[in-house]
Structure 1
Amino acid sequence: MPIDIDTFDREAEFEGDRTQAERILSFLALNDDKAFRRREIADSTGIDPNAVSAVLSRLKERDLVRHKPPYWAAGDPERVRSAIDLRRSLDTLNEQLGTEDMDAWRDAGADEQHPSQRGTDGE
């Protein structure tokens, strides 16, 4: 039986490997004409209310959501879209090229000074 497109866009079971932050941002962006209480966001996304609180706080620090107690709403639509697009691009690159080994990056340059920190005589 078919479902309407709004249900399709909202349903958590179609969300695959998206992070909780992406799920919350997507929900708020799809409903950008409304503001919600934490519990309403939790109920709509299927995420534990305590986790929703933590995620909303991190998203607020990044200016991706707005908060006027007790309500939360999507932030600037362009900023939200850019954040989601960046995450998807990074996921695609990681799938195609593999993830970076940060310890290897740190070890590779640990013994050398950055060129901007070297003296004018080349040392």
Structure 2
Amino acid sequence: MPIDIERFEHERDLGSEETHATRILRFLASNDDKAFRRGEIAAETGIDADTVSSVLNRLKTRDLVRHKRPYWAIGDPKRLREASATSDSLAALNDRLGTEDMDEWREAADRDGER
């Protein structure tokens, strides 16, 4: 499947799997003059409708999408830019320093609690 040149130019790792949230946000952002029903988003993104529903609800809690039953639309552009910048920063830090291991964090916290 082809990708747009914007994605080609700006993404570091094109071989990685795009998340459902990213696919949904990309679709809604490219159609920012419209609002869609859950089933329409599912059909356009190729994601199961139940999965779309749970992803949309998570995105709504982060103010990345808007909802007026039964329609969904892209959220505030400023909020989307902030979330994207945060995601890009975290990805850069993970590339440079490696990812965090939550088990290591828990073990360290347990050790500190024993002192």
- Give the TM-score of the pair, scaled to structure 2: 0.76
Shift of 1:31: 1.4
| Paired position in structure 1 for 2:93 | 93
Q: 1:89 to 1:55 in 2, by over 3 A?
A: same
Identity fraction in percent? 59
Q: Structure 2: any 5+ residue segments left out of the alignment?
A: 6-13
Amino acid at match of 1:31: N
Instruction: Give the Cα–Cα distance (whole angstroms) in 2 for the partners of residues 29 and 15 of structure 1.
Output: 22
- In the TM superposition, what are the counterparts of 1:1-123 in structure 2 within 5 Å? 8=4, 16-112=16-112
Instruction: Give the Cα–Cα distance (whole angstroms) in 2 for the partners of residues 75 and 82 of structure 1.
Output: 12
Q: 1:40 to 1:16 in 2, by over 3 A?
A: farther
Shift of 1:85: 2.4
Aligned pairs, number: 104
Shift of 1:111: 4.6
Deviates more, 1:32-41 or 1:99-108: 99-108
- Give the TM-score of the pair, scaled to structure 1: 0.71
Q: Structure 1: any 5+ residue segments left out of the alignment?
A: 114-123
Q: Say which one has the larger Rg.
A: 1
Amino acid at match of 2:70: P
Shift of 1:72: 0.2
Instruction: Give the Cα–Cα distance (whole angstroms) in 1 for the partners of residues 27 and 89 of structure 2.
Output: 20
Amino acid at match of 2:36: F
| Paired position in structure 1 for 2:8 | none
Amino acid at match of 1:8: D
Deviates more, 1:14-23 or 1:47-56: 14-23
